Amino acid sequence: MKKLINLTINDQHYEVAVEPNQTLVDLLRYQLGLTGTKKGCEMGDCGSCTVILDGKAVNSCLVLALQADGRSIQTIEGLETGEGLHPVQEAFVEKGAIQCGFCSSGMILSAKNLLDQKSNPSEIEIRRALAGNLCRCTGYQKIIEAVKSVPQAN
């Protein structure tokens, strides 16, 4: 039986009815049309479904939609503002860190989550923070360079 949940996605409030066995990634993609969040392995291995849930990057394929009730979610669609792309997105474009693009939304959100918690991370810290996001074009080097190049507040 469907249950009604309330959640905030990219600062916008939603009230939606979801099945108990519906995952957060399916809610985002199929019910709300937010297809920037990708579905890859669906097993928590590849990271293409990464979203930021209450300030923490998680695999949305491993979260039940019902578990997101009352919580705040940021997806790739929420990064761009009226002023243009987010600095991390800008850096990915600038450094050629996007090949096929399938891993990009997850990579960018994991990178943003790292930079939100720590300014000027070391290369090791960047590599560790992106360890849950797989790029099958194996374009990791450009991705690391992009994250390193993001202008920092201080």
Partner 1 sequence: MLLPKFDFHEPKTLNEACQILAAYGVKAKLIAGGTDLMVNMKKKILSPEQVISISRIGELKKLDTSGDSIRIGSCFTVADLSTSDAIQKHLSALGEGAKNLGTPLIRNLATIGGNLGSARPAADLPPALMAYGAQVVLNSLSGERTLSLDKFFLGPGFTAAKPDEILSEIQIPSLPPHSGAGYINIGIRKGQDCNLVNVASFIALDTDGTIRNARIVMGCVGPIPLRASSAEKMLIGQKPESALFARAGAAASLDSTPIDDFRGTAAYKRDMVGVLTRRTLDIAFREATHRQ
**Which positions touch partner 1 (CB under 8 A)?**
1, 3, 20-23, 42-45, 47, 50, 53, 56-59, 61-64, 66-67, 69, 110, 113, 128-129, 131-134
Nearer to partner 1, 26 or 146 (CB): 26
- φ, ψ dihedrals at 18, nearest 5°: -130, 150
Alpha helices (H) along 82-136: 87-94, 104-117, 123-129
Nearer to partner 1, 21 or 138 (CB): 21
In angstroms, give the least distance from the CB of 82 to partner 1.
29
Count Cα atoms within 13 angstroms, Cβ side, for 106: 28
For residues 34 and 14, the answer to whether their CB atoms sit within 8 Å is: no
In angstroms, give the least distance from the CB of 145 to partner 1.
19
Which DSSP category does 44 fall into?
A: S
Q: Which residues contact 24 (CB under 8 A, 6 or more apart)?
A: 51, 53, 60, 61, 63, 64, 65, 67, 68, 73
Helix 104-117 to helix 87-94 angle, to the nearest 10 degrees?
130
In angstroms, give the least distance from the CB of 13 to partner 1.
20
Nearer to partner 1, 45 or 96 (CB): 45
Nearer to partner 1, 42 or 145 (CB): 42
In angstroms, give the least distance from the CB of 93 to partner 1.
24
In angstroms, give the least distance from the CB of 116 to partner 1.
13
Nearer to partner 1, 93 or 131 (CB): 131
